[in-house]
Amino acid sequence: MEKAILFDLDGTLTDSGEGIINCAQMTLERFGLPVPPREEMRVFVGPPLGDTFIKFGIPEERTQEAIDIFRSRYVPIGKYENHPYPGIRELLEALKAQGHRLFVATSKPEVTAIEVLEHFDLAKYFDLICGASLDQSRTTKSEVIAFLLEQNGRIDNAVMVGDTEFDVLGAAAHGIPTIGVSWGYGQVEDMQKAGAAAIADTPESLLELLNQ
């Protein structure tokens, strides 16, 4: 049966951690804040930036300033410190050949998501690429999915694919189940607690789950 499959981007389709963490480190340094080990900064990959910066000590009223600093490096450099996960291109090709409709729903700014996917020649697989707005009016996964549904109209037999509990919860707000992937930046236990329908450990096992 044809499905509408909504993919997260960072940590699901591409491994963008290097660029995101590099830019987050620079931002914390500019604010004179402690810079934790890189492993602890993996939480910057996926959720809205503003929310994560607050957790690392940036005052809520200065989050936009932090985001602007982050983007000053990310837009020209950081977004390309990134690569598709092995097997992702083959997964997308197989799903398209089977007749499924593919979408992207990411908390990354939409303009950047499109640039990244075009850079890696992955944009061609998707009917629609939706992301956060630069004016912060659309930032959470739930808001992005709402926008996607608004742009596309009714989507039947939909499923989300993502690597964090934010994907699971954001999709659940619209009655969409999520298959979590274990190769990204979230914790499997957190996705399971949030209600993930299943967990895939490889793109090959994800294809099997999506075709059940």
Catalytic residues: 8
Helix 165-172 vs helix 141-152: crossing angle, to nearest 10: 50
Six-digit token string for 88 = 């992702």
Among residues 114, 118, 119, the alpha carbon closest in space to that of 132 is found at: 114
Among residues 23, 77, 79, the alpha carbon closest in space to that of 52 is found at: 23
The answer to whether 172 touches 153, Cβ cutoff 8 Å, is: no
- Give the angle subtended at the CA of 159 by the CAs of 153 and 161, to the nearest 5°: 120
